[in-house]
Amino acid sequence: MIRESAISHGLRLVLALLALSLCMPAQSLLSELKAERDPGKRAEKALLLANAAFDSARDYYRKGQIEKGDAALDEMTDALTACLQSAEIAHKAKFFKKAEMDVAALQRRMTWLLNDLDVQDRGWAEITSKKLDEIHDKLLDGVMRK
């Protein structure tokens, strides 16, 4: 019963963040993220925001809206940077590990996205892929240090 309520709470949080991402500009979401006092919760919310931003980017790219897709990838990297900073503040290995696993999944998804894009549309996505690699390396370093 407790497990179901935790899953239900997590699902409500994901749905709320997705609804917010559709209604609010990215800057507002990041400021809301920074308003979260608990660095662990802030890191988790940042991961949810990053995944939602990636989904938006993929949808924009599929529709041929390259500029909007690039902007969504920027939102994703901003959220992941906030996650990294929050994990460093929380100073607990579990936040680094969770973030590292999620970023590794985003790296795989980014590879698939790059393969789906035309060569002339890949520019910003390739740069973002390199940023993801850097963020992943920092998170992995955090896991190893803790």
pLDDT digits (tens, 9 = 90+) for 123-134: 899 999 999 999
Which pLDDT score, from 0 to 100, does residue 12 have? 59
H or E stretch at 1: none
Interatomic CA distance for residues 6 and 74, integer angstroms: 31
Which pLDDT score, from 0 to 100, does residue 101 have? 95
Contact (Cβ atoms closer than 8 angstroms) between residue 113 and residue 81: no
Interatomic CA distance for residues 85 and 80, integer angstroms: 9
Contact (Cβ atoms closer than 8 angstroms) between residue 106 and residue 49: no
Which pLDDT score, from 0 to 100, does residue 14 have? 55
pLDDT digits (tens, 9 = 90+) for 32-85: 777 778 888 899 999 999 999 999 999 999 999 999 999 999 999 999 999 999
pLDDT digits (tens, 9 = 90+) for 106-128: 999 999 999 988 888 888 999 99
Interatomic CA distance for residues 141 and 135, integer angstroms: 10
